[in-house]
Structure 1
Amino acid sequence: MRSRRSAGLLLFRHTDGGPEVLLGHMGGPLWARRDAGAWTVPKGEHDPDEPAWEAARREFQEELGLPPPDGEAVPLGEVRQSGGKIVTAWAVEADLDPGSVTPGTFTMEWPPRSGRAAEFPELDRVAWFGLDRAREVIVKAQSAFLDRLAEHSSRG
C-alpha cells in the first residue's frame, strides 16, 4: 500500500519575543474540544504525480482562502505522522492576519451512523504561536518542522 502524502506551508515571522509560526486548529467535531495535538501546518493531501511544492501552495489557498505568500521557501523536509501519512513542508516568512482567513470546508457523516451529512471547516481557527507554545499544541510528528525552522533561524 502506498503512503498518503500531504504538503504544506509553515508561515513564520520575527517578533521581539522570538520567531512565531502560524498554525491551524483542525476543524470538525473530532477536534473541537482538543488543543494539544490538534494544531497543524496548513497542508493537504496530494497525488504522487503532483509536485509537493505545488501541492503545498494549492493547499494553503484551499485551507486558508488566501493566496500563498511569496518569499524564500525554506525546505523543512518530511515527517511521518503516527497514522503513516508523510508530510512535506516549507517555511515562508510572511505576516498574515488570522482574521482574514476564510477556511475551506469538508463534509462528513455527523453524528456517526446518523445518515446525515454535515459540513465543517478544514481549520476552525488559525493563530500565531511562539515556538515553545507551538510545540505543545502541534501534531506530534510536525514538531520536527519547528525544530528545523529554529535551526534555520539561528543560522540566518
Structure 2
Amino acid sequence: MEVFLVHPGGPFWARRDDGAWSICKGEAGPDEIALDAARREFVEETGQAIDGEFRALPPLRQAGGKRVLAWAVEAGVDAGAIVSNHFELEWPPRSGQRRRFPEVDRAGWFGLDAARRKLLASQRPLLDALLQVLGAAPRPD
C-alpha cells in the first residue's frame, strides 16, 4: 500500500524532509461541504482531480490546534506532474520584498513506513486510521 503526500513549498520548509510532508489539506468555506473542500484543495495543490469512493477517516487535531478531516480514496495521481497554486510572502523577512512560492513544491507516493517518517508528527495517526478503514491491523508502536 502506498500513500500520496505533498511537501509544503516556501522557504520555511525548503530544507526539511522527514517530518515535514502532509496530506493535501485546506480550510472549507463557510457554506462549503467538507468533502467538497477537500476535493477542491487537492486540485489547488496538485492540479489534478480525483474521483472514487471517498472513505472518511476519524478527525484529528494537529499540534497547532487545527482540526483536520481526511478521506481515503483509491486514485491514480501522477506525483511528478503536480501544479500547485502559489502564495505571496515577504522574503527575506523584513526586507520589504514580496515573493511568490508554490503551496506544494513536490509530491510523492510512499509505503507506510516511509510515509510515517515523512509525515508531520501530528498527522501520523491518519496512517493507523487508514489501516482501520481498510480492515488492516494498525502498526504496533
Give the TM-score taking structure 1 as reference length: 0.83
Unaligned runs of 5+ in 1: 1-18
Match of 1:52 among 22, 29, 34: 34
> Does residue 98 of the first structure (1) align with residue 84 of the second (2)?
no
Corresponding residue of 2:54: 73
Runs of 4+ in 1 over 3 A off after TM superposition: none
Corresponding residue of 1:88: 69
Q: Which amino acid aligns with 1:144?
A: P
Cα distance, 1:152 vs structure 2: 2.2
Unaligned runs of 5+ in 2: 137-141
Show CA shifts across 1:87-137 (max 9, x none).
Answer: 110011012211221111111111011111111111110000001110111
Show CA shifts across 1:34-70 (max 9, x none).
Answer: 1122100011122343211110011011111112x11
CA RMSD of aligned residues (A): 1.2
Give the TM-score taking structure 2 as reference length: 0.91
> Does residue 21 of the first structure (1) align with residue 3 of the second (2)?
yes
Tell me how far apart the structure 2 counterparts of residues 22 and 38 of structure 1 sit (CA, whole Å): 14
SS in 2 for 1:124: strand
Corresponding residue of 1:122: 103
Q: Which amino acid aligns with 1:75?
A: A
Tell me how far apart the structure 2 counterparts of residues 112 and 95 of structure 1 sit (CA, whole Å): 39
Q: Which structure has more strand as a fraction of its residues?
A: 1
Corresponding residue of 1:43: 25
Percent of pairs with identical residues: 54
